[in-house]
Structure 1
């Protein structure tokens, strides 16, 4: 199979290293210094002490159709990335956006804040695969992706039933990416988003790892309160999501892993607030279920002079107070 990966950050680098070392033909789309580095040195993944290194074709943009295109850019850059690589997407190409947040394909039309350029609405949804990847990855100073768990990937059709997914799934499994095809991809998306929405913006604000959020009573209370609002919206749509006990265990099991949003905050990059926070918040508001805890957290993020905060005590006090008042209003 001819596979392409658009975006050479944490996940893109890790996927490229695994797929290419397994003997697959992999093309990586990157820019600037990262493009030149991949051309010179290839890609590498340190998987719990085992180093996967491989050479790949590195380009600024795709010029011919691929069998499958994995898109691992930030969610707000997804439309522009696909438009710039339209030549790589033929009528039989699988398009697999591996981005955080509420995906553009979840509803019949892209939700607010999920299709910034309008390009995503024009994709052939029958060739779009929803993807939920469970993999903790950070990139070292020398450009090596570092992972602490076996990558687990769930794929599901955004629409339609056409096309044989067997060769793609077989290739992914052979490369060490544990892959399954599911009819419940939307449920899996919401389960992952529940964890992301409750932890990513909070971690960016206060500079804490997932385990630190799980151990700290004040942070855990805030995360659980935001999760409650998200879970209520999902329930109204017919999705039953795991309780806060599950979320608490997840935080502790994750260890000292820094969320992607905290990594972006430390690097001064744009945070994925649109897809992770604003999109579900807008849809919930349309359903008459305002996510007030999440709204308060976004307000604290927007007024912060720099992230993460050096002294988050005032922000935490405001959030805790807001969640307390919200809980009282529900009684």
Structure 2
């Protein structure tokens, strides 16, 4: 009897639900973790993804945590929950398991070399991830897919899922990666394996860095940030700060014209941070904003616009801000930065 190829998906939020539904279209045995009411819902009804008007209904195996080894593991949780999720599901991870963290922001593996992860500020402060994962088994990932989920747990996406994967260090098993890609292709996920995964991460992070905190504070959608002159000026100032830091890391990122086109083409779509703010969930500030800010500061490079936004996000307040406070914030962000 042939042993099935087992793929675990940790987390049944927007991306986890979408990935579980898509992967279930392949011949792999798909496991999806969830908790509480969400686990009961999926166990009873399966998962549903409306992909550009075509409905995918799937019934992955479900559990609150994985207790048997997986061939591949997609970790679809917020970056601040990554270490806890990996530790909880460590029974699924053997030295042969490919681990794909599907997180926003700067990844904990960004400075990994050979068999050493290397510490990243704010992203793996206790070394938990470095202790559980070998760099050679981790695949960096950049997923381009807009997903929203309604109160009934139904996920909706309006674009073709496109996934870039890349080894984060030397020593990766090319045959294993090729096999995983074959299952992704069979799932309808357009996948490429690239040696430039860090550059792709930074290109996506350029957009997130410039829009996520601004949208959480103001409630603005992506196209509004790209078209409203006041919001656009703030976003482009943030982009300039991020691009300068990235250049010091050896990466030349796209221009502001590219960014404006991207935002305007995105339509009235809420950033992931705005979705979290509206749901009252913790924001991914460390991975998207604070870690790049800290790395830049370590090289004596100021990010004054991001510093202002982080200061505005410090207070205990309901987000997004009421309209009068949004107007006051925008005015303050356009004032000259004190010397």
Asked if these proteins are the same fold (TM beyond 0.5), I'd say: yes
Is 1:10 equivalent to 2:21 in the alignment?
no
Find the aligned partners of 1:86 and 1:98 in 2 and give their Cα distance: 17
> Which ranges in structure 2 are unaligned for 5 or more consecutive residues?
113-117
Q: Which residue of 2 aligns with 1:213?
A: 225
Shift of 1:233: 0.4
Measure, in 2, the Cα distance between the counterparts of 1:92 and 1:186.
23
Secondary structure of the equivalent of 1:77?
helix
- Partner in structure 2 of residue 195 of structure 1: 207
- State the Cα distance separating 1:116 from its structure 2 match: 4.3
Q: Which residue of 1 aligns with 2:182?
A: 170
Structure 1 position 97 matched with structure 2 position 101: yes
> How far did residue 117 of structure 1 move?
4.2
- TM-superposed CA distance for 1:151, in Å, is 0.6
C-alpha separation in 2, matches of 1:198 and 1:43: 32
Query: Are 1:126 and 2:140 counterparts?
Result: no
User: Would you say the 8 A contact 1:71–1:98 is kept in 2?
Assistant: yes
Residue 114 of structure 1 is matched in structure 2 by 123
What per-residue deviation string (whole Å, max 9, x for no partner) do you get for residues 222-279 of structure 1?
A: 0000110000000111100001101000001100110110000001000000110000
Of 243, 263, 266, the residue aligned with 2:278 is 266
Q: Which residue of 2 aligns with 1:234?
A: 246
Q: C-alpha separation between the residues in 2 aligned to 1:110 and 1:104? A: 8
Q: TM-score, normalised by structure 2?
A: 0.94
Q: Map Cα deviations across residues 99-156 of structure 1 (whole Å, 9 max, x no partner).
A: 0011000013131111144211111111000000000000012111100100110000
1:74–1:272: 8 Å Cα contact kept in structure 2?
Answer: yes
Aligned partner of 2:330 among 283, 296, 316: 316
Matched residue pairs, number? Answer: 325
Instruction: Classify the secondary structure of the residue corresponding to 1:16.
Output: helix
Conserved in 1, the CA contact under 8 Å of 2:304 and 2:337? no
Aligned residues of 1:21 and 1:53 also touching (Cα < 8 A): no
How much has 1:95 moved relative to structure 2? 0.5
Q: Is the 8 A contact 1:79 1:116 kept in 2?
A: no
Q: Is the Cα contact below 8 Å between 2:161 and 2:190 reproduced in 1?
A: yes
Matched, 1:276 2:288: yes
| Residue 235 of structure 2 is aligned to residue 223 of structure 1 | yes
Runs of 4+ with deviation above 4 angstroms = none
Matches within 5 A, 1:49-68: 49-68=53-72
Deviation at 1:304, TM superposition (A): 5.9
In structure 2, the residue matched to 1:159 is 169
1:44 paired residue among 35, 48, 53: 48
Over the aligned positions, Cα root-mean-square deviation in angstroms equals 1.1
